[in-house]
Amino acid sequence: MTSTDSPTLTLADVAEQLEARLVGDPSRRVTGLATLREAGPSQIAFLANRAYLKDLPGTRAGAVLLSPELASSCPVDRIELANPYLGYAALSRLFDPLMRRERTGIHSSAVVAKGAILGEGIEVGPNAVIEAGVELGDEVVVGPGSVVGADSRIGKGSRLHANVTVYHGVVIGARAILHSGAVIGADGFGFAHDGAGWQKIAQLGGVILGDDVEVGSCSSIDRGALGDTVIGNDVKIDSQVQIAHNVQVGDHSALAGCVGIAGSTRVGRHCMLGGGVGLSGHLTLCDGVQVTGMSLVTNSILEPGVYSSGTGAMPNALWRKNAVRFKHLDDLAKRLARLEKSGRSG
Amino acid sequence: MTSTDSPTLTLADVAEQLEARLVGDPSRRVTGLATLREAGPSQIAFLANRAYLKDLPGTRAGAVLLSPELASSCPVDRIELANPYLGYAALSRLFDPLMRRERTGIHSSAVVAKGAILGEGIEVGPNAVIEAGVELGDEVVVGPGSVVGADSRIGKGSRLHANVTVYHGVVIGARAILHSGAVIGADGFGFAHDGAGWQKIAQLGGVILGDDVEVGSCSSIDRGALGDTVIGNDVKIDSQVQIAHNVQVGDHSALAGCVGIAGSTRVGRHCMLGGGVGLSGHLTLCDGVQVTGMSLVTNSILEPGVYSSGTGAMPNALWRKNAVRFKHLDDLAKRLARLEKSGRSG
Amino acid sequence: MTSTDSPTLTLADVAEQLEARLVGDPSRRVTGLATLREAGPSQIAFLANRAYLKDLPGTRAGAVLLSPELASSCPVDRIELANPYLGYAALSRLFDPLMRRERTGIHSSAVVAKGAILGEGIEVGPNAVIEAGVELGDEVVVGPGSVVGADSRIGKGSRLHANVTVYHGVVIGARAILHSGAVIGADGFGFAHDGAGWQKIAQLGGVILGDDVEVGSCSSIDRGALGDTVIGNDVKIDSQVQIAHNVQVGDHSALAGCVGIAGSTRVGRHCMLGGGVGLSGHLTLCDGVQVTGMSLVTNSILEPGVYSSGTGAMPNALWRKNAVRFKHLDDLAKRLARLEKSGRSG
């Protein structure tokens, strides 16, 4: 038996955990989740999007999570709840092998500085490094090869996967998840030009991550120049994201992959940035702003709503002849205005 | 002598390895490759592109790889073959110091879990970590500081460079090359909104890489939400690439640096994505699609061919006056249509 | 006391170090830097931008760095110098806890190959790996978990933070700073197509970084295919940057986050690339080129100046109706020309 085996739950267990209504055999055992189309008799499926309603009649799932109004079409046992997508999220966590792994303490190859303050039930993986003055809350997991720099604090129940780097003086809240390759607290990009070249500005601020923050693989959150870079509670950050010094991101915002945010920009609460979005520095985005993928934002946005830039791909031959016109847009507009004027005056 | 020294080959060796025709001294010794312009007498040069034909008459190379039709212009020994660029590729591998490094077994500082299944002739570098249930095929190299998570399998002859992270339950085929900082199998970006904030959707799927896959430095391939993220055989992925959960990439496709692919998108076989290309989620790109650099693809592409978006850089003053017109394009188009109509009716 | 504590300096110390004029109490002690608005009596503030002049009268700072012409408005002790921003940079380094950390030698868990040449006063952190043939100059710091590949050389006073990877045969100058997750010398992206699939071109070149280079977290600088990838002196590279094989970047250039530079492109001296800028391969950018954020450069730039592409974000509804017109730009231009012609001939 390995540490990534799935658990076995009865449908009664599932219904109880989800506070949902079971219509079916409470003793039926299930060992995982799958789509309606792919699930077998030992798996639970879910229907959270009417686009998949067509897959319901033929499903071979052991049971289906769905809303009461669709219950009558379900050919197998069912678990009814108002929001099946939230139910799926909750159920996915029940089946998550990581949730059930026992904490294994401090591996003999880990290097933990004297005086580090270690909570109860923690795990520090092989070849991980905990520097002086660090505080790890209860049940914190520091994965293999991860490094926590001097005087940093990591809140209860947070998990650093393998090969994560947290610099010195970083504060991370409770229940954070930091994926491999993530780097929290590297220097912001600050230099003064002396006429000949660059003089480094030491980055003396820190980074503060709230509770329930997730940071994807290979993402960077830089430390502040003077004050701190601040990521609010329940902020979700995907992979390959760059957050520069002194950025502030409000609670519950979500940043998709490859987003880049330049220095000192403030993103509000409940914002959503699509993949590859770039925000210039020193901007303010108010609460509730959504920006679609690969848009460039160079001005503050002070009204909630959806914002976009760019143009979508088209066949190269078509693109070539149109793109070349872009540099004549101003000329086209002026010529059009002249024509209009001559038409009116003619 | 160090581990990165170059080998010495005779021209006879080279011709035999490349199955090519040598015209020259079979006992001449060469120790490396260089361009026509830079090669000295102990190096082989190659001519694979007519743009460099001008460098041929003056070359000081020990020998030149080239096609028979250009042979007469070659002032030095030559190795003739139909496709000199393929010949260069093959020859480069003969001179690759990594190919000739001996496997050194398992370093005493590496942490290998009991029960891991280890093939013949493997190497596990200093401070690497192999978790429980892992299978490493014959001749696998796991570089210093790399971590292979529980129950993952890595096929014969694959190489993980230093500080690579493979999560649990990942399957990697034969002859893979994973560069430093690459992360395979981190959680996909999945959350359900409960009205107040985000509920994590545990990412229960895995990642499957086919045979002969290369993944560049600091690239991320996320694990699937339910099913797997699947990268086909002979797929080449450059640095700083983000591949989200449940993406599928078909055999022989190549993804240049900084590409981002959002969740569940399927890229066909023999596709080529230029640097910085972004694909939205849930799209399909058929076989044989090429997308030029930094294009944004928001719709499926069902015909092979070359696709593009965006506009190239121009002097800022010119750009400013044109870019500001972009938000009036629709207005311009309508006004033009009105003028045309009035002209016809007038 | 921890390793990240701040030092205490007197104003006399500060003025002497900055070669500036103190007007105030030379024995006043300060322990850090802050903004005019946030600084307390034990901190120094600075005024480098007239936008913050409004904060000067109310500051509670222990002293203010500012230019002589603004001195009369300063309500507290002051340190006068011609360029307060450079003064701030210098002072920030005085307060940098990393500058004052003692080198701790080679940690017992580090793995240093026999025959590596180690300078005086170096530090090799826990679980770091130094391969055979490496040369570390005096006062080099190799952070925890970092790996330096065979035969690489790192110049005097350079610092690799935690979990940095330097491949084999890389040359790094003096006083470099490499942030966590950075990867120097991974293979460039080179393959030859044999009609059926990809044949790897071994990347036989190296990487050379000049003196005073900084590389941000999770950035990649690939090794050359034949010759080297070359980064000049005093080049500053932010996080999440991708520099492909055989790129050359001239002295004193600065590359902001998420920049991508394709193979063999040459960037001049004193260039500045904004965040997310993409440069195609085989281009030349002359000295003194600035490219604004997220611009795509597909042609060489031979005149210094500022260059841009793209369009900024706007409300999605407005964007939709304009973006859809982009593919008709050529048509619009032709129709406009026809109208103009008919108007003239009419």
Domain that holds residue A331: 317-345
- Evaluate if residue C237 carries a pLDDT over 50: yes
Q: How far from A147 is each of A129, B16, C3, C61, CA to CA, in Å?
A: 5, 50, 16, 36
Task: Return the pLDDT at B6.
Answer: 72
Three-state secondary structure call for residue A231: strand
**3-class SS of residue A83:** coil
Q: Which two tokens stand for residue C96?
A: 């940098």
What confidence score (pLDDT) does residue A5 get? 67
> Across the interface, do A296 and C319 touch by the CB < 8 Å criterion?
no
CA distance C207 to C153: 11
Contacts of B247 in chain A (CB under 8 A): none
**Could you report the per-residue pLDDT of B195-204, keeping only the tens digit for each?**
999 999 999 9
Asked if the model's pLDDT at residue B346 lies above 80, the reply is no
State how far residue B91 is from chain C, nearest Cα, in angstroms. 8
Residue C71 lies in a domain: yes
Q: Count chain B–chain C contacts defined by CB atoms under 8 A.
A: 255
By annotation, the residues of C acting in catalysis are: 245
Q: Does C295 touch chain A (CB under 8 A)?
A: no
pLDDT of C5: 67
Going by pLDDT thresholds of 50, 70 and 90, the confidence category of residue A97 is: confident
Flag whether pLDDT at B255 surpasses 70.
yes
C293–A308 CB contact, under 8 Å: no
Helices A329-345 and B329-345 cross at an angle (nearest 10°) of: 30
Look at residue A162 in the predicted model and tell me its pLDDT.
Answer: 98
Residues A271, A285 contacting (CB under 8 angstroms) = yes
- Tell me the average pLDDT across A13-37: 95
pLDDT of residue B330: 92
Q: Kindly provide the residue ranges of all beta strands, DSSP E only, lying in A180-326, ordered along the sequence.
A: 183-184, 191-193, 198-200, 207-209, 214-215, 220-221, 229-231, 236-237, 242-243, 248-249, 254-255, 260-261, 266-267, 272-273, 278-279, 284-285, 289-291, 296-297, 305-308, 314-315
Q: Which residues of A touch B329 (CB under 8 A)?
A: 329
The answer to whether residue A82 is domain-embedded is: yes
Residues of B in contact with C296 (CB under 8 A): 276, 293-294, 310-313
The tens digit of pLDDT for each residue in C306-338 reads 999 999 999 999 999 999 999 899 999 999 999
Q: Which of A81, A100, A119 is at the close of a domain? A: A100
Residue C336 near chain B (CB below 8 Å):
yes
Mean pLDDT for the stretch of residues C193-222: 97
Rounded CA-CA distance A201/A120 in Å is 39
Q: Is there a domain that residue B124 lies in?
A: no
Query: To which residue do tokens 């230029």 refer?
Result: B274
pLDDT of residue C345: 57
Shortest CA distance to A283 belongs to which of A302, A266, A295, A306? A266
Q: In this complex, do B218 and C222 lie within 8 Å of one another by their Cβ atoms?
A: no
Determine the distance in angstroms separating the CA of A209 from the nearest CA of chain C, rounded to an integer: 18
- Which single residue is written with the structure tokens 């240049």? B256
Q: What is the DSSP letter of C336?
A: H
B340 vs A136 pLDDT, higher one: A136
- State pLDDT tens for residues C12-52: 999 999 999 999 999 999 999 999 999 999 999 999 988 89
Using the Cβ of C292 and the Cβ atoms of chain B, whether some distance falls under 8 Å is answered with: yes
Predicted confidence (pLDDT) at residue A151 exceeds the cutoff of 70: yes
Please state whether beta strands C214-215 and C177-178 pair in parallel, antiparallel, or not at all (unpaired): parallel
In a 13 Å sphere around the CA of B54, the CA atoms on its Cβ side amount to 1
> Nearest CA of chain B to the CA of A286: how many Å?
17
Angle subtended at Cα B283 by Cα B278 and Cα B287, rounded to the nearest 5 degrees: 90
Quote the CA–CA distance of C311 and A309 in Å, as a whole number: 6
Which of A111, A93, A208 is CA-nearest to residue A155?
A208
From B161, B245, B252, B282, the catalytic residue: B245
Alpha helices in chain C (DSSP H): 11-18, 84-94, 97-100, 316-323, 329-345
Measured between beta carbons, the chain B residues lying within 8 angstroms of C132 are 2-3
Sign of CA dihedral C239, B165, B251, B302: negative
The pLDDT value given to residue B98: 80
| pLDDT confidence tier of residue B102, bands split at 50, 70 and 90 | confident
d(CA C339, CA A271): 46
Residue B1 has pLDDT above 50, yes or no: no
Inter-chain residue contact C150 with B107, CB threshold 8 Å: no
The per-residue pLDDT for range A284-318, each reduced to its tens digit, is 999 999 999 999 999 999 999 999 999 999 999 99
Q: Which residues of B215-225 are buried (b: 16+ CB within 10 A; e: fewer)?
A: bbbbbbbbbbb
pLDDT tens digits for A164-197?
A: 999 999 999 999 999 999 999 999 999 999 999 9
Q: What is the pLDDT of residue A2?
A: 38
| CB contacts, 8 Å: C217 with chain A | 165, 183, 186, 220, 222
Name beta bridge partners: C199.
Answer: C192
Is C321 touching B (CB cutoff 8 A)? yes
- Would you say residue C42 lies in a domain? yes
Average pLDDT of the residues in C131-150: 98
Q: Enumerate residues 6+ apart whose C-beta is below 8 A from B338.
A: none
Does residue A215 belong to any structural domain of this protein? no
Contacting partners of chain C (3+ CB pairs under 8 A): A, B
User: What average pLDDT score do residues A231-260 get?
Assistant: 98
| C60-74 mean pLDDT | 94
Q: Taking 80 as the threshold, does the pLDDT of residue C346 lie above it?
A: no
What distance in Å separates the CA atoms of residue B155 and residue B152, rounded to the nearest whole number? 10
Contact C152, C136 (CB under 8 A): no
Residue type at B214?
Answer: E
Confirm or reject contact between C337 and chain B (CB < 8 A): no
CA angle at A127 for the pair A122 and A133, rounded to the nearest 5°: 55
**Total domain count, chain A:** 2
Query: Which tokens hold the place of B260?
Result: 């981002």
Taking CA atoms, what residue in B is nearest to C315? B327
Q: CATH number of the domain at B44, please.
A: 3.40.1390.10
Cα A321 to the chain's mean position, in Å? Answer: 39
Which band of pLDDT confidence, cut at 50, 70 and 90, is reported for residue C103?
confident
Nearest residue of chain A to residue B302 (CA atoms): A315
Which residues in chain A have their CB less than 8 angstroms from residue B312's CB?
323
User: Does A346 score more than 90 pLDDT?
Assistant: no
* Cβ–Cβ gap C197/B234 under 8 Å: yes
Is the separation of the CB atoms in C344 and A343 below 8 Å?
no
Residue C227, token pair as written in the block: 């010759």
- Tell me what pLDDT residue C29 has: 96
Q: Which of B50, B72, B100 is the last residue of a domain?
A: B100
Q: Do B314 and C309 touch (CB under 8 A)?
A: yes
Three-state DSSP class for residue B7: coil
Nearest CA in chain B to C190: B89
* DSSP SS3 for B250: coil
Please name the residues in contact with A232: beta carbons below 8 A apart, sequence gap of 6 or more.
A210, A213, A248, A249, A250, A251, A252, A253, A269
What is the distance between the alpha carbons of residues A221 and A280, in angstroms, rounded to a whole number? 16
Instruction: Compute CA distances C177 → A189, C187, C262, whole Å.
Output: 12, 21, 23
Indicate whether C80 belongs to any domain. Answer: yes
- Residue C151 tokens read as 């035969």
pLDDT given at position A101: 79
For residue C111, give the nearest of C158, C137, C150, C156 by alpha carbon.
C150
> How far apart (Å, rounded) are the C-alpha atoms in residues A241 and A219?
5
Rounded average pLDDT over A114-134: 97
Q: How far is CA B242 from the centre of its chain?
A: 12
C-alpha distance from B267 to closest chain C C-alpha (Å): 16
Determine how β-strand A278-279 pairs with β-strand A289-291.
unpaired
C-alpha dist (Å) from residue B43 to B70, B271, B317, C23: 19, 35, 49, 67
Give me the active site residues of A, please: 245
Torsion sign (Cα): C33, C39, C40, C41: positive
Q: Which residues are CB-neighbours of A259 under 8 A, at least 6 positions away?
A: A237, A238, A241, A242, A273, A274, A275, A276, A277, A278, A279
Q: Give me the percent of chain C exceeding a pLDDT of 90.
A: 90
Q: How close A25 gets to chain C, by Cα (Å)?
A: 49
Nearby residues of C194 by Cβ (< 8 Å), 6 or more positions away: B83, B86
Token pair for C124? 């090799």
Rounded to whole angstroms, the Cα distance separating C171 from C152 reads 6
* Nearest residue of chain C to residue A113 (CA atoms): C126
- Distance CA(B94)–CA(A87), nearest Å, equals 56
Determine the Cα–Cα distance for residues C124 and C138; give it in Å rounded to an integer: 12
Full DSSP string of A89-105: HHHHHHT-HHHHPPP-E
What's the pLDDT tens digit per position in C213-225? 999 999 999 999 9
Supply the mean pLDDT for chain A. 95
Nearest to B239 among C220, C321, C326 (CB): C220
Mean pLDDT of chain B: 95
A and B: number of Cβ contacts within 8 A: 253
Contact B38 C227 (CB under 8 A): yes
> What does the pLDDT read at residue C100?
74
Q: Which C positions 146-205 lie with beta carbon below 8 A of chain B?
A: 147, 149-151, 163, 165, 167-169, 181, 183, 186-187, 189, 191-192, 194, 196-204
CB contact under 8 A, B218 and A258: no
Which of A46, A240, A298 to mutate to probe the B interface, most B CBs <10 Å? Answer: A240
Task: Give exposure, B95-125, as e/b (b: 16+ Cβ within 10 Å).
Answer: bbbbeeeeeeebbebbbbbeebebeeebbbb
Confidence of residue B99 (pLDDT cuts 50, 70, 90): confident
In a domain, B323, yes or no: yes
Nearest CA in chain B to A97: B204
Identify whether the C-beta of residue B242 lies closer than 8 Å to the C-beta of residue B223: no
Q: At which of A48, A78, A100 does a domain end?
A: A100
Tell whether C54 is covered by a domain.
Answer: yes
Contacts of C173 (CB under 8 A, 6+ apart): C155, C158, C209, C210, C211, C212, C213, C233
